[in-house]
Structure 1
């Protein structure tokens, strides 16, 4: 007996095969589309985060609009003195860069490169409680809406970043004053670099008499005539400001005063 297969049967078999292939292609396309959508979403999120970070690094910066150095007055305290004219403190006036968000000046890191000294400075409030704070800077509000903190919020805000150089801010005995050490902190071989004390009337915003630690910046050399200092100021968002400062060729006549850097 012979089995006859009609044209209708052949067309039915071909149609089922085509349908199976079509369904398989749809499934593959759906899976591929899902992968592409997930990848696109991830890349978009990553691009947004990168763009935000890049914008913060560029925009959230500070401008240094002035810098002065405090000059000692030799033979300031009879036998306990430093008998040469030096710059023992740098004061940088800063403001927010145009378009910058709020900038907390206590979150800066400052790389200091001097003629014979190097250090990475952090705000005096940072670090663990200890007898000494090493390589510290201070912040003082010049004009600000809220002068009790270290955050620049308005473009009109002006603050000072204060860097003692080659000095040991001694808080022992309740008599806070600035010393420069001949050798080391432990030697006790200290002489006054200035008669000025650091209390409520100080030019540094911290009242050392209320603190439980001293500030040791002796790794940063005292600055003499014609010395150069390079500062790299990095904000918490990663933006950087480079500052080059130079002590005048002569400090004669500026004893006990300030000089432009």
Structure 2
């Protein structure tokens, strides 16, 4: 009397199963996308955090700011900053910094001047000047020769007085640098002339000089005890087409130092209203 339609019920059950499987697959794909996205965002957040930390920590401290008065007494022709690593900073290559200059003459971005490798061999007349102290004037760089009496220093173009000291014995030579060079210094001899008090030419960028460095005469600060001098030769840079000129009495300039990691340090230098005698050094 009553007829049961089992075939239709079977078809409905199969259709429901297919829909369920499709929903499971869609959910699985969506979950995979979410997991991948979450992983990407986490990695991106970690990279951003590391970059932000470097921008905060890999910075420099400015210890002193001085200026060199031009020979004619007209103004400050060079600005020099003494730097050290900020607490917690990693290694900082000062040759990779960028300096943004803003002064009376306008604004300018300045990179590092090209440097050359100078090899100094120290001799004492009977052998090598092992572990002799080698200093470079007028920039104040000082390094120690190795066991064979050799010291390697990175210097910008310019004329320097190089002196070697081993105990009570000293020797010196004047060297003009315009390319990679080598110089032999014999202890007990003095062959120096009057080097250019302006130091490095610095006509292509700022110059870096190691005052004291654990890693030797390179441009990388690796220790909190390292001290380096950054110098802008206003006159030389202006003569090479940079929008920068000597600072007159009462002038002010702003220097923003940006390291390779993006950390920035801004310092304002101001020339005294009354300049000291020609060729002297003044605090800014």
Give the gaps of 5 or more residues in structure 1: 74-81, 127-131, 169-183, 186-215
Q: Relative to structure 1, is the Cα distance of residues 135 and 220 closer, same or farther in structure 2, using a 3 angstrom cutoff? A: farther
Measure how far apart 1:28 and its partner are. 1.3
CA contact (8 A) 2:105 2:243 kept: no
Measure how far apart 1:26 and its partner are. 1.2
Per the alignment, residue 60 of structure 1 pairs with 58
Q: Which has the higher strand share?
A: 2
Give the gaps of 5 or more residues in structure 2: 116-200
Q: Which runs of 4+ in 1 moved over 6 A?
A: 8-11
Per the alignment, residue 283 of structure 2 pairs with 260
Q: Relative to structure 1, is the Cα distance of residues 217 and 9 closer, same or farther in structure 2, using a 3 angstrom cutoff? A: closer
Measure how far apart 1:93 and its partner are. 0.4
Measure how far apart 1:149 and its partner are. 0.6
Matched, 1:161 2:253: no
Matched, 1:136 2:159: no
Q: Relative to structure 1, is the Cα distance of residues 259 and 134 closer, same or farther in structure 2, using a 3 angstrom cutoff? A: closer
Q: Relative to structure 1, is the Cα distance of residues 17 and 117 closer, same or farther in structure 2, using a 3 angstrom cutoff? A: closer
CA contact (8 A) 1:114 1:230 kept: yes
Per the alignment, residue 139 of structure 2 pairs with none
Per the alignment, residue 21 of structure 1 pairs with 19
Matched, 1:227 2:259: no
Cα distance in structure 1, aligned partners of 2:47 and 2:54: 11
CA contact (8 A) 1:64 1:92 kept: yes
TM-score, length-scaled by structure 1: 0.68
Per the alignment, residue 101 of structure 2 pairs with 112
Q: Relative to structure 1, is the Cα distance of residues 57 and 237 closer, same or farther in structure 2, using a 3 angstrom cutoff? A: same
